[in-house]
Structure 1
Amino acid sequence: MVERNDIGLTELRRGVLVLATLSRLRAPQYGYSLKQALAEGGMPVEEGTLYPLLRRLESQGLLVSHWNTEHAPPRRYYQLSPEGERTLAALTAAWRDQVRVMDGFLSEGTAR
């Protein structure tokens, strides 16, 4: 049985995964290195979640990718597109605004 807290955490995490992913792709990374970077930053993600997300972000024009076949094994590298850079800046600003709002909401309960 899934606990209600697990559902809330899953939804919260899903909402920030795009921002976390875009923030790690300012420089080119292949899927596994991105997975490691996210985990090291405190946001582990399963391959079954990450790779579909990368494909979706690329289809939305936020990422560009290329294959590097110079080393074995060949790896597909992802990086922000110019539109992805603009989107990252906009999402970062929105995130910071939401953090301020939520800090206000959450501190109301402790200020009494």
Structure 2
Amino acid sequence: MATKITYTQQGDYLLPDLKLPEQPKVEIGIWGKRHLQYIKQHHPIRYTNLLTTCKLTAYLVDIDEEATEMFDRLVKQIAEREGVTEQLKANNQMLWVARINNIRSRAMEIVNTELIFI
């Protein structure tokens, strides 16, 4: 079975109408979206290769899952190490919120440095 190729005229040239196969519809989280913007801007060849080989969606989903797991693990580990517990939350909510937000910010920086902006 032959594939029919269609063309569009652009000035004096006939250019083939190229179309990528449909990608599966998957929800990509914030980490995957951040990485997508980064590779589009800073690594256009990697982005184009992933896009044209239809591996971009799966790649971004993997990055998003790995980053989410790393972030959750880091927040838990740092909170345990620094004594930010449910007991502190019950005794002094404002202090707990301030410390957990600080921990989340540090964990976010680590994930960004090690997974997202590479």
For the superposition of Structure 1 and Structure 2, which TM-score range results when normalised by the shorter chain? 0.3 to 0.5
Q: Using structure 2 for the length normalisation, give the TM-score.
A: 0.35
Structure with the largest fraction of strand: 1
Q: Using structure 1 for the length normalisation, give the TM-score.
A: 0.36
Larger Rg: 2
